[in-house]
Structure 1
């Protein structure tokens, strides 16, 4: 199982990508309160540039976004970074949805909205 926190590193860098600004801010605040360095983006295209600059250990990505959706973004990140970045899908959609299901094949972990912060932090601390 791949974890968010790389071994021996206490400065876990995380990017939260969600077109729902309130959801992204809430998740970013919870991660920050738990010791992570966090940046956020509201769409997949701006996230690509942010990922190159911030070099996160983990990307939490909303699957269903307008424009560059989570599935396409996950494909691009796997092409560029292979498995060097932990990908965590976040969805309000059903696992039966083809886009959601296909995204689950590319990511290391996934959560449904609303995210259980305690479970997410267990994942972060497990590294």
Structure 2
């Protein structure tokens, strides 16, 4: 969509997790869109280029590693990639994903840690 500004794309197959992260980032002043699968994320990326993609590692179909590699091939380092998972870092596929992305978190993600990377655009709590 021409003229659409999207700062952050949140990709997670768990609706509650995706919406919670989106609400946090919107509350900090970011324009956020949600995709519920890797495939939906690719469709979204055909319409706009966000500054950042938060991606869940463990999704059915295209997982976080496949999505991260796709984004790197298409956009290089122009999009900040942040992966998160509930799996241990010792999992080989998780470790490979974490090597492709810029930042990563083990769930649950503390908001203070996200804000170290993405400081609020407006004072917290301001409408």
If the length of structure 2 is used for normalisation, what is the TM-score? Answer: 0.87
Which of 93, 97, 114 does residue 120 from structure 1 map onto?
A: 114
Task: List gaps (5 residues or longer) in structure 2.
Answer: 121-127
Which of 61, 66, 77 does residue 72 from structure 1 map onto?
A: 66
Distance 1:56 1:88 in 2: 12
Q: Quick check: 1:86 aligned with 2:55?
A: no
The structure 1 segments of at least 4 consecutive aligned residues displaced by more than 3 Å after TM superposition are none
Partner of residue 22, structure 2? 28
Partner of residue 49, structure 1? 43
Deviation for aligned residue 1:33: 0.3
When the two chains are superposed, the root-mean-square deviation of aligned CA atoms in Å is 1.4
Partner of residue 102, structure 2? 108
Larger Rg: 2
> How many positions carry a matched residue from both structures?
116
If the length of structure 1 is used for normalisation, what is the TM-score? Answer: 0.87
Task: List gaps (5 residues or longer) in structure 1.
Answer: 1-10
